[in-house]
Amino acid sequence: MQLQAPGPWSLLFGRLTLDQIPYTNPILQVTFAVAALIGLAVIGVVLYYKKVGYLWREWLTTVDHKKIGVMYIIVGLVMLFRGFADGLLIRTQQVLANGPHAAGFLGAQHGFLPPFHFDQVYSAHGTIMILFAATPILTGFQNIVVPLQIGARDMAFPYMNAVSLWLTTAAAALVMISLFVGDFSQAGWVGLIPLTELPFSPGTGVDYWMWAIQISSVGTTLNAINMIVTIVDMRAPGMTWFRMPVFSWTTLSTNIIGLTAFPVLGVALALLGADRYLGTHFFTAGMGGNLMLYTNLFWIWGHPEVYFLILPTFGVLSEVIPTFSEKPIFGYVTMVAATFAIAGISWLVWLHHFFTMGSGPDINGFFSVATMLVGIPTGVKVFNWMFTLYRGRITYTVPMLWAMFGLFLLLIGGLTGMMLALPAINYTVHDSVFVIAHFHCMVLMVVCAGFAGVTYWFPKLFGFKLDESWGKAFFWTFAIGTITVFTAMFALGFEGETRRLEWTFNTAWKPMLVIEEVGMVLYVISLALFAMMLVVSIKNRNRERLGADPWGTSRTLEWLTPTPIPFYNFAVTPQVNTRDELAWRRKHELANAKPDAYEEIHMPSNSGLPVILGACAGIFGFAMIWRIWWLAALGLLGIVAIVIFRSFDKNAGYHLQPNEVEAMERNLAIGSITSEQPDRSHHSIHAEAH
Amino acid sequence: MAHEAAPTANTRLFRPGYAGHNQISARTLGFWLYMLSDALLFTALFASYAVLDTPMNAAGGPIASQIVNPIEGFWQTIAILGSVTAYSLSTVSMKNGKRGGTALGIIASIVLAVVFLAFGIHDLTALAAQGDGMDRSGYLSAYFVLILTHAIHMGIGILWMLVMLVQIPRYGFNEMVVARMLNLRMFWQFQATVWVCVYVYVYMIGA
């Protein structure tokens, strides 16, 4: 048994000692100061405006899918910022530490990051961007949009939805805590084996990485169940499968992937955890372990995960492009078929991440062909989008610009992906930055669709648009920055730069590294422009209050709800008559039709349990990382107790009376998701009552 | 195209009084989906077991034929299938609205599950005592973790049954209690199915 890791251990604090807090590191001092300032500022604002109660009642305890979606996106954006800061450190280190004579600062031989720190930075960058930035942002969109698009009042399991959010948030918090207490993993975001084993990584870094992912993946699995049941069970009357918007289809497919792939990641990490905590030999180099078992298990999740990210972004493009082309999507049925084809193939390609493992020509050949097959349905999609644009009445709004640039990145990433699918090429460029440039094109396509979605759906939720000119400035700096960084990176890949280099030894790389750094400067400027866009838009929010359909050309059901959306979504459930219901109603001048009478609405009650459960999960994770056994037991016990306690809770929601609904429909400000709701527990009903 | 038809006098734009989804059907579907993810978890564990079930991965320690005891496993199989039968009989009583019979079935089910777990835990502790614990070799790691993961699932099922023993007298057979009872039945049958796979794959083929 390896329950006791090397180093001091005490019953009360486990492995946690004061010198685990890296207060001597100047970079972390600055980071801590900035984080503390932002944190204090947020707390100060909340206290100054006396919003503690509001925050607790309306946000932290909410079970409203729209608010949960907004909080997912906030968590995702915060982590996106953190992940970007890591990326900036990596690029700056590589350009400073170029060649044998590169100067060293802050205790590093070259550049300013010693290998010990640099390795943590790239590991954190990958882990954060994939699991704690992209995933929450996309989950947020699905949460906000899908129930509206299918004409539902909420998710199938609103309480569980909140549980998913707070598990993800707890996991993200663990990653952030690793900055200031202990270290993060140095073994890459994929957890290179056997480097992650206890003898080679005796610190707590790998534990932070492992437990954060484990906790967030439970959240993602629960969310996948929720989304699938919502789509299967809660579509409005008349919304047959083939009237469902493409974004809802992609959400369905992506969550089927999530549901089936994440348990495998859970097993891979749990077995690694058994190795680290119980002394088993699953992946050890000796004693009958099998290193490639881990790599296979990880990528059996890892590749479907890539499509888990990209399919919803395809869905976003499929909403944005028809709206701003004023045409129905071209080839709807083939779009749906292509979505599921991609989801299906995603299971059969994982080995292309390690062709160089040496499985022999037959196996590599199979996975090579399977990988190239992905190009067929993806090509179908790209052509469908192009034919949607063809002879459309195109308006280049900010979401449309993001969608167009996303298509461009998809093309570059897709074509280089086809190159990498050939084992012969793959052997040559394996682990070079060519691969990095390829998959960054793909994930930046996800980011582009993310910003397209943010600008597209923002006015629906909050009733005002994000500022168009700042938005365009943000877009162009970001787009040019992306092209600058990754064109140079493709070239460096061909020049033989391998990935994860803390010291770029070859001086011939210098010009390209400098160009990459220039691109990073553009990214920094674009971030400032993004912040300006938010500030200016919020400042001018009352200049133009928008109606139900702010873009005027939207096609799907979410734009039928009033703006800002009341918390109950639809006062009366809509009847769906056709595929692009809103476009059809607009064409026949029915878009503003109101229901004849309002009726009682059943709504779920808020609950503080999910956020407490999330806190227990975070405590459990932290205690396991530091091997504070009593605290871990307490955290786990807390989770079990909350689950059991909840099953004894008879409060099954409350009923909104028709007159209340009518008042809120007349004055939308009362029911909007940013307004404070009165306590309606006197309307509460019990499970037996219905 | 058909979906482009113009609205007529009979076209409805709203559906007042639409009941929406049914709680029990949504919960049942959700639980089936959970079991799908759980099935994938066991699939990954079985795959790991298959990969590590070689003499090389035994690293000089015992291999499957030296540790598994199919006769004992047979009694375990009888116990777990008996537990499932007892639980199913308990849901028959629930259908007839009999609280006592339902509780009795659940208690019988718990007792048989404890018998099952006692066999398994005795087996694992005996192995560990003779120096063949999970830290002995890659093969034994896979064996222990596969059996223990199933045992943890069984333990959660027992806890769930204890909760139901409190809720049935307290609330009677309301919608939520019935939904939980039905989901627990699926869960229990699923765990028995996993055990049958373990028995065939680890115990019978291994011996």
Tens of pLDDT, residue by residue over A161-196, are 999 999 999 999 999 999 889 899 999 999 998 999
Cα distances from A118 to residues A172, A500, A504, in angstroms, run 20, 9, 13
Segment (H or E) for A640: helix A629-647
Q: Does residue A35 sit at the B interface (CB-CB below 8 Å)?
A: no
Return d(Cα A364, Cα A354) in angstroms, integer.
9
Domain total for chain A? 1
Nearest residue of chain A to residue B11 (CA atoms): A577
Q: Does residue A193 sit at the B interface (CB-CB below 8 Å)?
A: no
> What is the average pLDDT value for chain B, to the nearest integer?
92
| Inter-chain touch A595–B51, beta carbons under 8 Å | no
Residues of A in contact with B7 (CB under 8 A): 577, 588, 590
**Chain A closest-CA separation from residue B116 CA (Å):** 23
pLDDT at residue A681 in the model: 62
pTM over 0.90: yes
Show the tokens assigned to A437.
């440039």
Question: In the 8-state DSSP scheme, what is residue A350?
Answer: G
Q: Does residue A644 sit at the B interface (CB-CB below 8 Å)?
A: yes
Q: Does residue A359 sit at the B interface (CB-CB below 8 Å)?
A: no
Low-confidence ranges of chain A (pLDDT < 70): 1-4, 651, 681-690
pLDDT at residue A3 in the model: 57
CA angle A584–A590–A591, rounded 5-degree value = 80
Give the A:B interface size as CB pairs under 8 Å.
179
pLDDT at residue A685 in the model: 55
pLDDT at residue B36 in the model: 95
| Inter-chain touch B45–A267, beta carbons under 8 Å | yes
| Inter-chain touch B33–A274, beta carbons under 8 Å | no
| Inter-chain touch A579–B3, beta carbons under 8 Å | yes
Question: A424 lies in a domain?
Answer: no
| Inter-chain touch A233–B29, beta carbons under 8 Å | yes
**Chain A closest-CA separation from residue B76 CA (Å):** 25
Return d(Cα A151, Cα A428) in angstroms, integer.
51
Give yes or no for a contact between A404 and A320, defined as CB atoms under 8 angstroms apart: no
Give yes or no for a contact between A472 and A554, defined as CB atoms under 8 angstroms apart: no
Question: A395 lies in a domain?
Answer: no
| Inter-chain touch B13–A585, beta carbons under 8 Å | yes
What pLDDT digit, counting tens, does each position of B134-187 carry? 999 999 999 999 999 999 999 999 999 999 999 999 999 988 899 999 999 999
Question: A154 lies in a domain?
Answer: yes
Range of the domain at A234: 1-244+608-648
| Inter-chain touch B14–A595, beta carbons under 8 Å | yes
| Inter-chain touch B12–A575, beta carbons under 8 Å | yes
Residues of B in contact with A289 (CB under 8 A): 57, 138, 141
Nearest residue of chain B to residue A263 (CA atoms): B41
Give yes or no for a contact between B206 and B65, defined as CB atoms under 8 angstroms apart: yes
Interface probe, candidates B10, B14, B156, chain A, greatest A C-beta count within 10 A: B14
Nearest residue, CB atoms, A575 vs list B6, B14, B140: B14
pLDDT at residue A683 in the model: 60
Question: A363 lies in a domain?
Answer: no
pLDDT at residue A689 in the model: 40
Residues of A in contact with B176 (CB under 8 A): 647, 652, 687
Return d(Cα A535, Cα A540) in angstroms, integer.
9
Residues of B in contact with A574 (CB under 8 A): 13-15
Question: A314 lies in a domain?
Answer: no
| Inter-chain touch A156–B20, beta carbons under 8 Å | no
pLDDT at residue A1 in the model: 46
Exposed/middle/buried for residue A498 (C-beta within 10 Å: 0-12, 13-18, 19+): middle
Task: Give this complex's ipTM.
Answer: 0.95
Mean pLDDT throughout B6-25?
83
Nearest residue, CB atoms, A156 vs list B5, B14, B21: B21
| Inter-chain touch B137–A585, beta carbons under 8 Å | no
| Inter-chain touch B141–A259, beta carbons under 8 Å | no
Query: Domains of chain B (ranges plus CATH)?
Result: 70-207 (1.20.120.80)
pLDDT at residue A4 in the model: 65
pLDDT at residue B2 in the model: 46
| Inter-chain touch A278–B135, beta carbons under 8 Å | yes
Q: Does residue A297 sit at the B interface (CB-CB below 8 Å)?
A: yes
A 10 A CB-CB count for A605 gives 18
Q: What is the CATH number of the domain that holds A231?
A: 1.20.210.10
Give yes or no for a contact between A499 and A435, defined as CB atoms under 8 angstroms apart: yes
Cα distances from A333 to residues A2, A338, B192, in angstroms, run 55, 8, 41
